[in-house]
Structure 1
Amino acid sequence: WRQRALPLQPGKEPGKEPTKEPTKEPGKNKALRHLKDSEFPACSRTKPLPPRVQVGGAAAFSIANSLQAHGAAVSGLALHPRKMVAASSGDDRLWRLWGVPAGEMVLTGQGHADWLSGCCFHPGGGALATTGGDATVKVWDLVRGRCVLTFEGHAHATWGCSFHSGGDFLASCSMDNTAKVWDLNSQRCRATLRGHADSVNSVAFLPSSNTVLTCSADKTVSLWDARAARCAQTFYGHRHSCNHAAFSARGDVIASCDSYGTVMLWDARKASAVATVDTGPHPGNQLAFGPSGESLAVASNDGAVKLVRLATLQVSSLLGHEDAVQSVTFDHREDYLLSGGADGAIIIWSRTGDLIITGHKYAVMTRDRI
C-alpha cells in the first residue's frame, strides 16, 4: 500500500503560495457563477431511513470465484447502482467492468497517464469516474466506451471520488490536502474543501444529502457542507494516518480505518465515537458496510479481508489473496463480497460458498446491459 502522508502544509505546493479562490456559497458572488452551473438539490435525508436488507443471520463467506483482473495491484472496486456489474481500477492504468459473480470481463478502458487509485459509478449507471496518480479525475461514458470529461485542478495524485446522488456533482480527494466538488454540467470546480493538514485519502457523499465525508493522513475524519465548502464537524480519535472512511447504508454510522488497523465507529448525528475495533497491526486500506448494517469488511495489508460483526464487534478473517488487500465492496443484497488485492486479483466471496456455474444462469454481460 502506497504511503499517503505528505510533509506539505495545507494548500501549499513546494515553492508556491496558496491560491485564493472566490467564495462558492449559493447566492454570493453571483457574477462568478457559470450559466451552466448546477443547483445543489435540497437535502432529503429527513425522509424515513431505508429498511435494512434481510440477510438471514450473521454473514459467513467463502471463495466463489477468483479473477486475475489486472497486471498490477487492484486499487479500487465499485458496484453498479442497479446491476450485478463491478468496476475495478488498477496500477496498470486500466479500469475494467466485470459481471458478478461469473467474472466475465465486460469492458476495459485506459487514458490516465499514471496508476489509477479508485473508481465510482454515476448514480444513473451509465458513467464511471476514475482517479489516479496523474492528479486528474476522469468521467467515462460506458455506452460509448470513452472519456467524456477530465477535471484538472488538484496539485498531486487523486485518491478517490464519489458522485452526489443527484448525479450533477462529483467529489474527489487528493494528496494536495484538499477535496474538490466538480460540476458535471458547467465542467468546473464548484468548491475546494480546505482544512486537512495532510493528504485527504478518501471522500464520500452521504446519499440524498449535500454532506461530504473525508478522512486524512492528519488522523482526522471530517464532515463538510458541499454547498458552502465549510467543515461542519471533525472527528478526533485516530492515533495514526486515516486511510478510509465510509457511511453505513442508513447514513447514521461512520466507520474509519487507519494505518495501524484500528477501526473506529462514529455516531454521525451525535459526532461521537461509539466503538473501536482492532484489526491490526497491519494497515486497514479500505472498508465497506454491508447493506444489512450487520457487517463491516476491512481490506487489510496482511492479505486478509477482516469481517467485523457489528453487533458483537467480533472479527474474522477471509484468506485468499497473496498480497495486501486494497479494496472491498458488497453487492446490493450482501450475497457477495468483492475484494481487490495488490496481487492483481479480484476475489468474489459468496455467503453460501456455492460454486460458480457458467452458462445460461450467468449469461455473458454485453455493453448494452450496462
Structure 2
Amino acid sequence: MPAQTVASRAVPPRPDMSVILVTGSYDHEIRFWEAWSGICSRTIARGGESGQVNRLAISPDKRFLAAAIHKKVNIYDIANPSSQPIITFEGHTGNITSVCFHSEGKWLVTGSEDGTIKIWDLRSTNVHRNYDNEAPVNDVIVHPNQGELISCDQAGRLKQWDLSENICTHELTPAGDTPMRSISLASDGSCLVAGNVKGKCFVWKINEERSDLPRFQAVTKFQAHGKYLTRLLLSPDVKYLATCSADTTVKVWSLSPKYEFKLEKVLTGHQRWVWDCAFSADSAYLVTASSDHTARLWEMASGETVRQYSGHHKAAVCCALHDGAG
C-alpha cells in the first residue's frame, strides 16, 4: 500500500483494485471496502443464517476469501459478485476462532472452541487432518516453513504441531492456566509472540539451527494492556508489534534485534473493544476492527487515522487486508 501525502488524502486517489480490504461483523455481514475512498464496494449479506462472522482470511493469490461463520467456513470467489460461497467446510461442533491459508493456497487450517484443529483441502469438502487439542483453541498460525502449525488455547498452552509427523512436538505454558488469546510468528520464523487475556505478552526466540538448544527460548515478557488483550500481530518487516485490547486502544511496539519491545504509539479513536488488526504488505499501514461498528486505517508513521469504514450495524470483529503481489 503506497504512502500517501497529507495533500493527497484530501482527494483520495483512484481506488487501487489490487488492494483487498474486508471486514466481518456480528451483524452477519461481510463488507469489501475501497481502501482509500472508504466506500463499501460489496456486501455479502447472509440473511437469516445463524452465527456471526468470527475470522477472515484472504488467499495468497487473492482469489478466495475464507470466512469463519460460527461452526463452518465459507469460501467465496473474490472476483465473483455472488454472495453464495463456492465451498463450505462443515465439521466443527463449536465456534470457529481461527482461519488461515497455506502459502500456496492449497489448504486451510481452522481452530475452534470445540478443542480441535482441522486442515481442509480446498479441492474437496472433506477434513484432510484433525488434531485434538483437548481445550478450546483461540488462535492457530501456519509456520513460514509451511510444515508446522502453532496454536494457543483456553488452557493457557501454546503447541507446535508437526504436519509431517502428524503430532504435537512442543508445548509451552507461559502463564499457568491463564488463557492464551493470540499468537504471531515473525515472517522469517525468528520469533514468536503470544498474548493472554490479562494483557500480558510473552516472546520466544525460535532456534532452527542448533539441536543442543531448546526450540523455543524465552526472551522477555511485558504488560501490554491493563485489560483483556484480543489480538496481537507482528508486522511483515518484523519491526513492529500491534496489540489490540478491550481498553479501546491499539498499541504499537517497536522490536529491536535483541527482541526488546518499546512502546512507540498508542492508537486512539475507537470507542469500544478493538478485536482484530491487519498490516499492509509494506508495514506502513494498519487496519483495525472494533465493537464500535467501524474499522479504521491507520498510518503507522504518524499514528493517525487515514480512513474510517462505517456501515456495519453491530460490532466489527474481524478484518483482512491483502495489498501485496498476488
| TM-score strictly above 0.5 | yes
Structure 1 pair 332–307 and aligned structure 2 pair: CA distance change class (3 A): closer
Structure 1, residues 59-90: CA drift from partner, whole Å, max 9, x if none? 52210100025632110011111233111101
Aligned counterpart, 2:39: 62
Other-structure match for 1:266 = 253
Aligned residue number for residue 282 of structure 1: 272
Confirm whether residue 207 of structure 1 aligns to residue 207 of structure 2: no
- Structure 2 contact 110–117 (Cα < 8 Å) conserved: yes
Preserved CA contact (<8 Å) 1:166 1:208: no
Give the alignment's TM-score, normalised by structure 2: 0.80
C-alpha separation between the residues in 1 aligned to 2:81 and 2:190? 35
More strand per residue: 2
Matched, 1:72 2:63: no
Size of the aligned set, in residue pairs, is 281
**Aligned pairs for 1:155-170 within 5 A:** 155=135, 157-170=136-149
1:297-342 alpha-carbon deviations (Å, 9 max, x no partner) = 111011111222222222343111111111111123499xxxxxxx
Q: Can you list the C-alpha shifts for 1:279-312, whole angstroms capped at 9, x where unaligned?
A: 3441111111122323211110111112222222
Larger RCO, structure (CA 8 Å, separation 6 or more): 1
Match of 2:243 in 1: 256
**Long gaps (5+) in structure 2:** 10-34, 208-214
Separation (CA, whole Å) in 1 of partners of 2:205 and 2:130 = 24
Q: 1:138/1:210 Cα in 2 relative to 1: closer, same or farther (>3 Å)?
A: farther
**What does 1:78-227 correspond to in 2, within 5 Å?**
78-91=57-70, 93-104=71-82, 105-155=85-135, 157-196=136-175, 198-227=178-207
- Measure, in 2, the Cα distance between the counterparts of 1:56 and 1:279: 20
Residue 235 of structure 1 and its aligned partner are, at CA, apart by 2.9
1:196·1:218 contact (CA, 8 Å) conserved in 2? no
Equivalent-residue separation in structure 1 for 2:241 and 2:269 (angstroms):
17
What is the letter of the counterpart of residue 152 of structure 2? Answer: C
Q: Calculate percent identity across the aligned residue pairs.
A: 19
Cα RMSD (Å) of the superposition? 2.1
Q: Assess, with a 3 A threshold, how the Cα gap between structure 1 residues 271 and 122 changes in structure 2: closer, same or farther.
A: same
Partner of 1:317: 308
Give, as a single letter, the amino acid of the residue that structure 2 aligns with 1:66: T
Asked if the contact 1:123/1:166 (under 8 Å) is kept, the reply is no
Equivalent residue for 1:330, pick from 318, 321, 324: 321
